[in-house]
Amino acid sequence: MPGTVGTKAPDVQFHLHDGSTVKLSDFEKHQSVVLFFYPKDNTPVCTSEACSFRDAYPDFESLNAVVIGISSDTQESHKGFAEKYTLPYLLASDPDGDLRKAFGVPRTLGILPGRTTYVIDQNGTIRLAFSSQFSAAKHVEKAKETLNKLHLSN
């Protein structure tokens, strides 16, 4: 099953809000990656989650991790969202849901795009897959806990 802890993360390509394109493997051997899938820019819970990742961003940097937020919104929407809330990390557009499918992000109640956070280590292995539609702050906590454990084991 895609997106399962202990498996290799799919080497997907991201179209970022700054106009650039990167592949997940571009970060391998250099940094861990925190991917957080969220339903929509500028909605209350999603904004809270995005700002929680923003506020904890120095912690992620100190743990040598890059953060990428992913939703179906356009690059233009992401650019405005990032500017409005001073988001220091990358936002990727997934209009067709291909990234969600590649990671097996579940839908909530069968209709809402799921809210799932993944931590991928420097070898490309998924170390965390955490889903919680309404507890946005827990995504940051779980990602930091996982990265701290990885950092201590190295």
CATH number where 24 lies: 3.40.30.10
The reply to whether 4 falls in a domain is no
The reply to whether 7 falls in a domain is no
Domain range holding 126? Answer: 13-153
pTM of the shown model: 0.95
3-state class of 150 per DSSP? helix
Q: What is the pLDDT of residue 133?
A: 80
Number of domains the chain contains? 1
Question: Nearest-CA neighbor of 68 among 143, 150, 152, 154?
Answer: 143
Catalytic residue among 24, 46, 67, 87: 46
Q: What is the pLDDT of residue 114?
A: 87
Contacts of 39 (CB under 8 A, 6+ apart): 45, 46, 71, 112, 113, 114, 115
Q: What is the pLDDT of residue 110?
A: 72
Q: Is 46 a catalytic residue?
A: yes
Residues of the chain with pLDDT under 70: 1, 154
Consecutive H or E run containing 58:
helix 57-62
Q: What is the pLDDT of residue 62?
A: 96
Helix/strand/coil (H/E/C) assignment for every residue in 84-147: HCCCCCEEEECCCCHHHHHHCCCCECCCECCCEEEEECCCCEEEEEEECCCCHHHHHHHHHHHH
Give the Cα separation of 39 and 13 in Å (integer): 19
